[in-house]
Amino acid sequence: MDQRVRRVIAFMEDNLHRKVTPIEVAESVRLSPSYLRHLFKDETGTSVARYLRELRLKRAKHLLETTFLSVKEVASTVGLHGVSHFVRDFEKAYRLSPARYAERHRKATDRP
């Protein structure tokens, strides 16, 4: 994988907690947003925005599995301040609401 794409992924992982702009992401590797968009898609098969959303959802899933944070707190922690959008995206990705996912996982880990 192209080193610039790897650095963009690392930049996104380091900044999941906040809103990042396409310009800021591109500047992190000294590329134009347009060139980064094409390079990233060629290397990963997906867009920068979709990749970032998937990173956020994976991190949210991990937090729901390993903490007792509320859905709102999890959404905020992964940089998604619109809880309704977070819930919708999470349900689409994992077929359960974040609250239901956390409830099921916590029950599963509480069993002997």
Q: How many domains does the chain have?
A: 2
pLDDT, residue 110, reads 54
* Residue at token pair 């007792």: 68
- CA distance to 3, 27, 49, 86, 89, per residue, from 22 (Å): 18, 9, 8, 20, 20
Summarised one tens digit per residue, pLDDT across range 15-49 is 998 989 989 999 999 999 999 999 999 999 999 99
Confidence at 106, pLDDT banded by 50, 70, 90: confident
| Residue in 51, 50, 49, 59 with CA at minimum distance from that of residue 23 | 49
Structural domain boundaries enclosing 31: 3-50
Is there a single domain that holds both residue 45 and residue 58? no
Q: Check if the beta carbon of residue 41 is closer than 8 Å to that of residue 47.
A: yes
CATH no. for residue 66?
1.10.10.60
Q: Which among 32, 12, 28 has a CA at the least distance from the CA of 79?
A: 12
In this structure, the answer to whether residues 46 and 88 fall within a common structural domain is no
Q: What is the predicted pLDDT for the residue at 80?
A: 86
**Same-domain check for residues 63 and 106:** yes
96 in the same domain as 71: yes
CA angle 18, 41, 64 (to 5 degrees): 40
Do 43 and 60 reside in the same domain of the chain?
no
Task: Decide: 78 and 12 in contact? Cβ < 8 Å.
Answer: no
Could you give phi then psi for residue 2, rounded to 5 degrees? -55, 135
Distance CA 34, CA 23 (A): 9
Residue 74 shares a structural domain with residue 86: yes
